[in-house]
Chain A
């Protein structure tokens, strides 16, 4: 088995008690590598002060007037 996929399956089983339900699930789990690469490309963009609650404020700040 692909070592990356094996690691993912072990992590999910250990942390959540959930096993791969089927082959498409395994294929899509192996595809998590694309999420890792996408997040790698964003490294350094998160500011120290950024916090989740700023989204609703941004909606109001940028709203149609």
Chain B
């Protein structure tokens, strides 16, 4: 195992740009971990080592030639296998698209390439981004790097696993009901779902036109900030993307939380929560207090409406997109996927339009009530200790398994309906050795603020530095980066 794989994205990119590390060395370090850990975790669908080596060599030539270098220069990445690259495989985690090669390239992939990153593979994911656990019938289930029988969170399962297990510096995920934040939480990494409309979705497999979001999973909040600065902003090819200026998110990370008002929901987000999760949340807010934040309980309005409407929109839109395949080739879906989509065909159009119509008024009422009192909300990302893959296997489990399955995303779905930005970062471990996630949410376009909170927390804690035991060379649970020298 090489220490270079333990560098954060920012450290790795900056080291390459300064000429302290060669891009080919970063790739080799990641590949060593990939070969050691991936057979146990199953986080990848396809890999292009030859293409990656050529890209790394080109990146090193650019450094030697003193070319203009972008903020992600020479950094290898793999992404959830639903980000289209013209001519390259994009399975969407499905049997139906097992051999599909799109003709277009996603805007976010182009923007990251322009910043110097390159892609070495496609990552495992829930079939068509439709489960919160990491199950996949076609490519095999993804396994938690901290305790393999447990779920990885989904749907960006391979994104969370590969970043946690140190064979990826950062990965794009997508989040329609929690699919970035859940694997971030379950795998012990940092992931941000931006404000709805903040990041272009052009060239990204759709699940729900209304609730889909693109965002990164990384080791640190600073890494997320760097990627957000690269990918956010208006895209003429995605007419739903907002024309709102993009700040330098990384520059906003000053560690200063003085005067920040943090609200901890008194109810709903903690209903039925497991004690280790509640205790981890309490300890996390104590860290924020020590940095100068004022923490208080807050009652959240309209949560029953948010819960009622939030589940209808994405299900109806997903069912619409998949209707022809559900008619023609239902056997090509995993049972949990077709089974979940099936009821959505009975949701009345009037319900769907009601859910859409109240979304704006509810957001306004929620934001006015909540963000006049606090600046950010702090909740657990997942209310309970993580379940196992077996406990959430709808295809093979007993009746009622679907309730355990759906409960995983109870705390993430509301922010998709509300369109608010939310970041998940590690804040402890449950009794089974699986990570616990802290979710920080803010008002629309408050990505800089929530990343500032997450970064401040990570300045005083080391959860995000810990290596999972699947990397056998570091099984002591101590921070991995002590003593690393790039010289």
Contact = CB atoms under 8 A, between A and B. Distances in A.
Contacts, number: 153
A5 B401 CA distance: 19
Interface in B348-390: 351, 353-354, 356-361, 363-364, 367-368, 371
A18 B448 CA distance: 45
A39 B339 contact: no
Given A22-B335, A28-B342, A55 B360 contact: yes
A28 B340 contact: yes
Interface string A17-30: 11111111111110
A36 B237 CA distance: 37
B21 to A, nearest CB: 36
A59 to B, nearest CB: 4
Given A22-B335, A24-B395, A52 B357 contact: yes
B364 A62 contact: yes
A64 B399 CA distance: 44
Contact of B361 (A11, A39, A47): A47
A21 B330 contact: yes
A60 B484 CA distance: 44
Interface residues of A, number: 43
A64 B442 contact: yes
Given A28-B340, A41-B308, A63 B244 contact: yes
Contacts of A54: 357, 359-361
A1 interface: no
A24 B394 contact: yes
A15 B338 CA distance: 17
A2 interface: no
Contacts of B133: none
A46 B196 contact: no
B339 A24 contact: yes
What is the size category of the interface that chain B forms with chain A? Answer: 35 or more
A42 B304 CA distance: 8
A21 B339 contact: yes
B312 interface: yes
Contact of A18 (B339, B345, B353): B345
A32 B371 CA distance: 33
A23 B343 CA distance: 12
A38 B308 contact: yes
B307 interface: yes
Contact of B327 (A18, A25, A61): A18
Given A41-B308, A63-B443, A8 B359 contact: no
Given A32-B343, A62-B363, A18 B357 contact: no
Interface of A: 8, 11-12, 15-29, 31-32, 35, 38-39, 41-42, 45-47, 50-64
Ranked nearest first, the 4 interchain pairs of A and B with the lowest CB-CB distance are A54-B360, A38-B308, A24-B339, A25-B339
Given A46-B357, A51-B357, 13 more contacts: A16-B323, A17-B327, A18-B326, A28-B339, A28-B402, A29-B342, A35-B347, A39-B308, A41-B304, A54-B357, A56-B242, A63-B195, A64-B448
